[in-house]
Amino acid sequence: MENLGESEFLGDDGDEDIFAYNQLAFGRLRLDEDSHLPTPMYKHVQVRVTYKLEAKPSKHVAFLVEFDSVSRPFQTRFSALERFHRRMCRHYKELRDEIPFPKKRLRKNFDQAVIMKRTELIGLYFDHLLNGRDFKYRDSSTLKDFLIHDLRQKYRSALRSELFEQALNNLMPILDLLEILELVCADRVTALTLICLCNAKSGQVDTAKMFSQKTLQLITSNSKILSAKKYSSLISEAISVAGKVSSHTELNAYQVSSEMEDAGTPRSTISTTASYAEDF
């Protein structure tokens, strides 16, 4: 097998994986109709909210939401939280009556008592979204997009400039968050595969192989969910690029294709990408 650290991995305009790379990196894979799978049972997430005063771009209070003690906190402003809450209420009208949300104020936004009360209510609000109503809201695409939108924009900008290490700095927090929340979704598959690609492009061969294995393992262990029609194009791309890196490891693209076919994905969707590893 060619040394990925020395090869022009995804660097040749004639490489078929250029298409896969662009599809994954810049979100050009279309997700079809929503599936009707039951909401999974998740583990309870301990939410902790703190705050800090920021001077730039203008003076404001930044709220830091922690979902795990070792992961990077999610940082946001009250105005962004309020817009997010309104979007959630448009999708889930009952949410407005289930949990109190801090009121918008014209004055005393920097008053210590006001900040402390907002911090407390924001913590209770996120606890309800992630753990309440039998985890009904944790699967919400509105919630997920709010949490990872800025990081997604940053890694896409870095990829356009071929700044792969910078892209990794924004992909890893996305992956950490989605793993903590146990969300099986397109963004998690994409993040894993792009982390694999960025490491390969940066010459980190062993790390690239490790993440290619994690990509394939995520797909196989969640085949019932990811075999849904709306994921078919994404999974084909992910298997193609991950299988290319991990072609000589224990779990290969053939095993993935077999398990996906058993779960209902047509062989026509996966046969080409499953054989890609053998040719590399």
Q: Which of 101, 97, 74, 73 is nearest to 85 (CA)?
A: 101
Q: Mapping DSSP to helix (H, G, I), strand (E, B) and coil, where does residue 176 land? A: helix
Q: Which of 269, 275, 274 is nearest to 29 (CA)?
A: 269
Query: What is the number of helices (H) and of strands (E) in the chain?
Result: 13, 3
Cβ partners under 8 Å of residue 154, min gap 6: 166, 170
Helix axes 78-91, 112-131, angle to 10 degrees: 30
Record the pTM. Answer: 0.79
Cα–Cα distance, 200 to 185 (Å, whole number):
23
Cα–Cα distance, 268 to 155 (Å, whole number):
32
Phi first, then psi, for residue 246 (nearest 5°) are -105, 25
pLDDT digits (tens, 9 = 90+) for 46-99: 999 999 998 888 889 999 999 988 888 999 999 999 999 999 999 999 999 999
pLDDT digits (tens, 9 = 90+) for 163-187: 999 999 999 999 999 999 999 999 9
Structural domains for the chain:
17-34+148-279 (1.25.40), 48-135 (3.30.1520.10)
pLDDT digits (tens, 9 = 90+) for 184-223: 999 999 999 999 988 888 888 889 999 999 999 999 999 8
